Structure 1
Amino acid sequence: MGDSASLLAVMGKAVLSQPSAMHALQAAARRLFDFLTERDNLAFGLLIRIEAARLPSIRQRCADWISIMEEPLVVLIARCQADGVITRSSSAEVLSETLSDLIDGVAERLRNESILREDADLPALFRRRWEALLAYATA
């Protein structure tokens, strides 16, 4: 959110080094998860939500950021569908939104402190959400 260009660059590097579209999707999702759960980005998320509640221009900017962050997921999900790995007939956009919501749910819990970052097992939290997406997307 703070620097979407650097996020996309890192996600791109993670994707390029993967042997399959599914591995690339997992790597991109993990990088997005790591980005959204970084301490500074959690704080930024709180501040931007306050401003977005008051200012339509900030709301639009947030929507633009979300689109930018989800675009690599959409492309990779479409590739996984074309490869026959993701079999759910939902659109790549809907599946991307679902994955994004699962990921952002952890960031939201960290922001509202229903999970304390110091105590959180972030790899396990990501893994559970990834497994939930796979269960849904391959059913």
Structure 2
Amino acid sequence: MAIIKRTAGRPTREQAQHIDDIILTGAREAFCCRGIEGTSMEEIALSVGVSKHTIYRRYAGKMALLDAVVNRDLERLSRAVLDVASDPDPLERLHLAARRFFFFCVEPESIRFMAFLTSEAVFSDELRQRFATWDRIISDPLISCMRDAQDAGELRTDETPLSLFNLLTDMLDGPSRRMQFALPDPFGGLTPDAFFEHRWSVFLKVATAG
């Protein structure tokens, strides 16, 4: 864990962003290790080398801090998905966006964090409600790609973009669920790349127009 070195004076914008990143990384690690109830703001502050006041000045409490941790991950995913927007073929944009979505979801740190969130949500109505908001943020870029491919006549239009999104993501979800429980061979004997391309080809057989 990186420790913030204190300097005199008001931090620059870059320094403030660095402090935010260090705090969120420390909070993410603490939440994964000890859960929300088992983690204190004091512990997070001590682990990253800032004062508790520095954290509270940015985040009102642990749920606000958790929101910020999740939103940082979602922003990273959104940037990766939206980075394919320059491809002129809507179906290829969807292919590239879905690929980046899949590989984000099977990153070890993503698996670990999702396992923490899922276990916490079992006992928290508030967290389950937040999941609905986070799910929309995750879904919107890919649903937009689905809609563009439909408008271009490359995907069937008798299904909604949301329905097609659910079809594709349900097909891609197996490895991440198996990895959460450390089950063997999460990709069914394939490489992650081959697994994605196989599922994509099956999706096209079902979802392409005509």
Q: TM-score, normalised by structure 1?
A: 0.89
Letter in structure 2 aligned against 1:126: F
Partner in structure 1 of residue 7 of structure 2: none
8 Å contact kept, 2:175–2:186: no
Which protein, 1 or 2, shows the higher relative CO under an 8 Å CA cutoff with sep ≥ 6? Answer: 1
Structure-2 separation of matches of 1:106 and 1:18: 28
Residues 22 and 115 (structure 1), Cα distance of their counterparts in 2 relative to 1, 3 Å cut = same
Give the 5 Å matches for 1:30-49.
Answer: 30-49=99-118
Structure-2 separation of matches of 1:114 and 1:67: 31
Partner in structure 2 of residue 55 of structure 1: 124
Letter in structure 2 aligned against 1:44: F
Higher helix share goes to which structure?
1
Structure-1 separation of matches of 2:171 and 2:126: 26
8 Å contact kept, 2:179–2:186: yes
- Give RMSD over aligned pairs: 1.9
Structure-1 separation of matches of 2:125 and 2:184: 29
Partner in structure 1 of residue 48 of structure 2: none
Q: 1:70 aligns with which of 139, 155, 165?
A: 139
Determine whether 1:107 maps to 2:176.
yes
Larger Rg computed on CA atoms: 2
8 Å contact kept, 2:143–2:161: yes
Q: CA deviation at 1:110?
A: 2.0
Q: CA deviation at 1:88?
A: 4.9
Structure 2: runs of 5 or more not aligned? 1-68
Residues 116 and 105 (structure 1), Cα distance of their counterparts in 2 relative to 1, 3 Å cut = closer
8 Å contact kept, 1:70–1:97: no
Q: CA deviation at 1:100?
A: 1.6
User: Which consecutive aligned stretches of 4+ in structure 1 deviate over 2 angstroms post-superposition?
Assistant: 114-117
Partner in structure 1 of residue 165 of structure 2: 96
Q: Tell me which moved more, 71-80 or 28-37.
A: 71-80
8 Å contact kept, 1:16–1:24: yes
Determine whether 1:9 maps to 2:79.
yes
8 Å contact kept, 1:88–1:136: no
Structure 1: runs of 5 or more not aligned? none
Residues 40 and 98 (structure 1), Cα distance of their counterparts in 2 relative to 1, 3 Å cut = same
Q: TM-score, normalised by structure 2?
A: 0.60
Residues 114 and 56 (structure 1), Cα distance of their counterparts in 2 relative to 1, 3 Å cut = farther
